Structure 1
Amino acid sequence: MSEPNNYSESIIVTPAIKFEEFTLKNLGTRFVKMEVKQGVFFTIIYQTEIDVRYTIYDEKVLLKSTPIINLDNEVLPFISPSRHCESDKLSEFATNEFGYLPNEYTKANAIKEWIFNTVEYKSGVTNSSTSACDTLLEKVGVCKDFAHLGIALCRALDIPARYFTGYAHNINPPDFHAYFEAYIGGQWLFFDPTKLAVANGLVKIANGKDASEVAVASYFGNVTCTFMKIECNPTTTAGFKPFNSELDTKAISYE
């Protein structure tokens, strides 16, 4: 969970089970860990109300590329291959498909469009070990797989990219949703190759190199999830206006 702006939150575990919240060095994501005895049925209810902040950029200011040598040090890890994003294996493909495009923003946007038009969105056909190369080969997956492929193709073109997991308003059926962000023009820009989410209806949970770093839940031992309900709604519908299709294609970054 990222530190949101102007927020209130609560975590309720029933029956009461002790849990510990922690962060990792040089990583802003918050984690919660807990140990549950065998044979115990328990529920976790997490609720939060936050002020979502985003910026819409004029594409003209994003046309200038940033040499790798000039990237901020904290951005550099997101240009290398990772567990689910084998960018080193996709360099030739990415160069042939997108290398001719004039700038990083155009390339990242073309990658998003190519994934949307080429990969079939289908639940239940992939698992936690599915990688970007698998998705490229099979041409099918879910939001996590779409994001991993987008990240890998960006990195193959020397564009830093990272995984963005979050809540999304009006996703049907309601679920967590995954996207990718590319570092362009000094900003982390949001891309949704599934085109399922309303671009101004997102709540960021966390960023990472890929889903292995920011899984919503990780189980160890004999644990089974029997029910999950996710909701993400504006506090008042009167003040919320979803972006139209034109704005959905604009360059957006989330804090």
Structure 2
Amino acid sequence: MRFQVHSSLEYEVKTPCVFILNLEAAALPRQRIVAERLQLAPAHPIDRFAEDEGGSRFFRVIAQPGPFRIAYEGEVAVNMLDRAPEDIAEVPVGELPLDILPYLYPSRFCQSDLLGRFARRAFEDAAPGHSRVTAICNWIYEHVDYERGSSNSQTSAYDTMVLRAGVCRDFAHLGIAFCRALNIPARFASGYAWKLDPPDFHAVFEAYLGGEWYLFDATRQAALQGLVRIGVGRDASDAAFATIFGDAAFKAMSVGIEAAQPVADEEPTTRAVGVG
């Protein structure tokens, strides 16, 4: 499947600011960038750096006072794994690749240690593997209200468990925390989400099962087979689309994704969607 993605951010820069941005589609074996363009107005030199494992592509810009706009557009070919959920098993901790182990530990926004007792009581009896993570997503969908403005950039998985309300970022953090509490490696993922209404940057999570990473979205708002990933990390702190050092006022944002070719099945899939 091919998708056309685009985004723009507008700021009023008040003092010289360092922007670290993560808007470009990730470069991954199952996500090929066909064409892309990045524009800055006014133009500034760009320093680039990439995160090897998750394919995240960051760039740094030093912007001077005045209006500042960043615009990105690209065409991306996505070739997701397609598996029957019942065939995907959990990997024992003793058999996990060493580079996967950090995704078992608590992190700033995913306090799996604080939520472990609840996770074990609620999900230990669920069928192991992909089905258990689906049970986690079902619980979050049924017990946490999706409510814009109910959380902020400091809201953690533990906070969401108490408040029982949040947005996609919070749903992802809670899913990650529950998975890690059950010894299932999990990580945060941001992306351009096909079929998301209204369009926005979307947060989901990935669980490591059967030797691959599989996508999960407890909000059930996007079609996972049409997620163009931007960044991954232990939690949202590793995958922010913009981090600013200095004084800049946010003015406007637009995000979009469209299918670049006809798609036979435009409904969210019931199959397991893997990213490799």
**TM bucket, shorter chain:** over 0.9
Identity among equivalent positions (%) equals: 38
1:53 and 1:128, CA in 2 relative to 1: closer, same or farther beyond 3 A? same
Residue by residue, what CA displacement relative to the aligned partner does 1:200-253 show, whole Å, maximum 9, x if unpaired?
Answer: 2211111111110011111122112201111100113xx2134435xx232111
Q: Tell me, in whole angstroms, the C-alpha distance in 1 between the residues paired with 2:54 and 2:212.
A: 18
Q: Tell me, in whole angstroms, the C-alpha distance in 1 between the residues paired with 2:231 and 2:192.
A: 10
State the secondary structure of the residue aligned to 1:124: coil
Please tell me the residue identity of whatever aligns with 2:78. Answer: V
Report what 1:43 is aligned to.
69
**1:53 aligned to 73, 79, 100, which one?**
79
Report what 1:182 is aligned to.
207
Is 1:16–2:43 an aligned residue pair?
A: yes
Preserved contact between residue 201 and residue 242 of structure 1 (Cα < 8 Å): no
Report what 1:139 is aligned to.
164
**1:89 aligned to 94, 103, 114, which one?**
114
Preserved contact between residue 181 and residue 190 of structure 1 (Cα < 8 Å): yes
Report what 1:116 is aligned to.
141
Report what 2:258 is aligned to.
233
**2:272 aligned to 228, 231, 251, which one?**
251
Residue by residue, what CA displacement relative to the aligned partner does 1:31-61 show, whole Å, maximum 9, x if unpaired?
Answer: 1111112x31011110110101101112232
Preserved contact between residue 199 and residue 255 of structure 2 (Cα < 8 Å): yes
Preserved contact between residue 33 and residue 74 of structure 2 (Cα < 8 Å): no
Note the C-alpha offset of 1:103: 0.8
Is 1:2–2:26 an aligned residue pair?
A: yes
Please tell me the residue identity of whatever aligns with 1:175. Answer: D
Residue by residue, what CA displacement relative to the aligned partner does 1:125-152 show, whole Å, maximum 9, x if unpaired?
Answer: 2111110000000000000000000000
Q: Tell me, in whole angstroms, the C-alpha distance in 1 between the residues paired with 2:69 and 2:232.
A: 25
Preserved contact between residue 172 and residue 204 of structure 2 (Cα < 8 Å): yes
State the secondary structure of the residue aligned to 1:230: strand
Q: From the two aligned structures, give the one with the greater strand fraction.
A: 2
Note the C-alpha offset of 1:29: 1.8
Q: Tell me, in whole angstroms, the C-alpha distance in 2 between the residues paired with 1:241 and 1:231.
A: 20
Q: Tell me, in whole angstroms, the C-alpha distance in 1 between the residues paired with 2:34 and 2:144.
A: 36
Aligned ranges for residues 96-107 of structure 1 at < 5 Å?
96-107=121-132
Report what 1:127 is aligned to.
152
State the secondary structure of the residue aligned to 1:28: coil
For structure 1, the 5+ residue unaligned runs are: none
Q: Tell me, in whole angstroms, the C-alpha distance in 1 between the residues paired with 2:177 and 2:232.
A: 15
State the Cα RMSD in Å: 1.5
